[in-house]
Structure 1
Amino acid sequence: MKQLDAYISRLIEETCGTWGIVIEDLDEDKRWEWNTQESFLAESIIKVPVMAAAFAAVEKKQFHLHDYVCLKKEDMVGGTGVLQHLTPGVQLTIYDLITLMIIQSDNTATNIVIDLVGMECIQETLEELGMEKSQFHRKMMIYPVHIESKNVITADDASTLLKKLATGTFRSRHACEQMIQILKKQQICNGLSSMLPSHQANLIGSPPGWEFASKSGWDDDRQHDIGILYTGQRTFTISALSKGGNSLQAKQALGKIGLVVFEYAISKK
């Protein structure tokens, strides 16, 4: 990965803020890393292990993905997502709630899923995934005065999570495939995939030149994006977390990281 090293190292050194990055070539078992153990507020990246906890609960027969849940007024919170704008009483399947939690980063959907799964189960799932430095303590957009701890993650833990999903080694291959299919439907694509070539160049009916199963997270001075990049027969995981910098500059840096990894991947076909 020497081609990546010089470019990304220089890019991060020229970009404001603190970064944690892991890039893994799953086919050749190679890895590039930067500041992997730095702790970051997880923001919406935490929704990926929440999804994993939900699929673990399904395997334990705690509920079924096709079970319906009624949207209640007291469930609605602000921030991202469409559910806060819908009429209370609407019923959605648990699978639909998980999908909205990931592809729109819907906070209301996330909190409903958290209540279904249980906060203790989510922390246990982090441990099962091997996310040793990550912690889950609270729901989205709710700040209980008795809970001072926050949801945190490291780039190394995020990479471990992605590798488990990509290799089908969390719970079952079928569960991992289902989660990856949801991540591939991501609608918030202003980070790692923002500079990748358009899919529209492909002929009708032909497979896309690349796919990216991803989840981002952000706040005032934090911009995170993690995902699994599929191009041809190649599979890479990218985990990029940032804090203390300019949001626009960080998004641009994420896009450049995604592009250089893509170009490296296609050069290795």
Structure 2
Amino acid sequence: MEELVSKIEKLIAPSKGTWGIVLEDLNSGEKWEHNEQELFYAASVIKVPIMASVYSAVESGDLALTDLIILDGKDYVGGSGVLQHFTPGLSLPLQDIIMLMIIQSDNTATNLLIDLIGVVNIQNAMKEAGMVYSTFYNKLMLSRSNPKGANRIAAVDIATLLHKMATGDLVSDPASGRMVDVMKKQQVRDCLPEKLPSPYSDFDHGMTPWELANKTGWIPGTRHDVGIFYVGDRKFIATILSKDEDDLLSKRIISQIGEEIYKYLQ
């Protein structure tokens, strides 16, 4: 993995921003960390531990994926997602709310789940998953933040979460598998997978089939993409966090990192 690390160091070297990166090759056991304990505004990456907390409640029997969630107009918030445009009073299964939170980064879906699980239970689930430095206090797209603090993440914590998910140790093996399947359906594909060949391509010309279970996060000046690469029979965890950088440049660097990871895994 030394050559891959060297290439990524060269990609981020010209950046004036701050990067938190953890790479882990689950086949070889090699790992590389860069500013792994640095805290970043979580943006939508916080939706991954929220998903884990929901599956934990399902695993304990407090919820079922078939439970119906009723949409109330007062719960609608702006930003990404489609639920804010749906008719109030509509009911959707819990599984569909989770799906929308992850694959469309739906903020209304996220807040519905936060209300359902509760802030304290989400915080406890993050601790149980081994997230040491990260914090969670706030629903999304609210005008006033919790005075106790902001939603923040460290690369080492997200990498720990993804490692447990990839190895079947996050909540349970079946729950981990369901979470990976949800993240593989991601529709926001403009960072780590942007330069990768189409998943529907003909791979007879030396390119290896791939899947990526990922979640992006973005606000102006902050851009993240985190996920698990599945390339052939190899698994690789990539946690890429950035702040204080031009949005177009950070997006380009992350997409180049994704390309280099794919080349390495071939």
TM-score (norm 1): 0.95
Question: How far apart in 2 are the matches of 1:149 and 1:143?
Answer: 14
Partner of 1:63: 63
Partner of 2:177: 177
Letter in structure 2 aligned against 1:69: I
- 8 A Cα contact 2:22 2:36, kept in partner: yes
Name structure 1 gaps, 5 residues minimum.
Answer: none
Partner of 1:244: 244
Letter in structure 2 aligned against 1:37: Q
CA 7–186 in structure 1, closer or farther in 2 if over 3 Å, else same: same
Q: How does 1:137-216 map to 2 (within 5 A)?
A: 137-144=137-144, 147-202=147-202, 209-216=209-216
Question: How far apart in 1 are the matches of 2:75 and 2:10?
Answer: 45
CA drift of 1:148 comes to: 4.7
* Percent of aligned pairs with the same amino acid: 45
Question: How far apart in 1 are the matches of 2:12 and 2:101?
Answer: 30
Partner of 1:14: 14
Q: How does 1:98-109 map to 2 (within 5 A)?
A: 98-109=98-109
- 8 A Cα contact 2:79 2:107, kept in partner: yes
Whether 1:42 aligns to 2:39 is no
CA 133–84 in structure 1, closer or farther in 2 if over 3 Å, else same: same
- 8 A Cα contact 1:19 1:240, kept in partner: yes
CA drift of 1:15 comes to: 2.1
Instruction: Name the SS of the counterpart of 2:38 in structure 1.
Output: coil
1:200-243 Cα offsets, whole Å, 9 max, x none, are 3238xxxx810000000010100000000001110000000000
Question: How far apart in 2 are the matches of 1:103 and 1:126?
Answer: 21
1:146-172 Cα offsets, whole Å, 9 max, x none, are 535100101111110100100001221
Whether 1:116 aligns to 2:120 is no
* Count of aligned positions: 262
Instruction: Name the SS of the counterpart of 2:200 in structure 1.
Output: helix
Question: How far apart in 2 are the matches of 1:169 and 1:221?
Answer: 33
- 8 A Cα contact 1:165 1:177, kept in partner: yes
Partner of 1:73: 73
Runs of 4+ in 1 over 6 A off after TM superposition: none
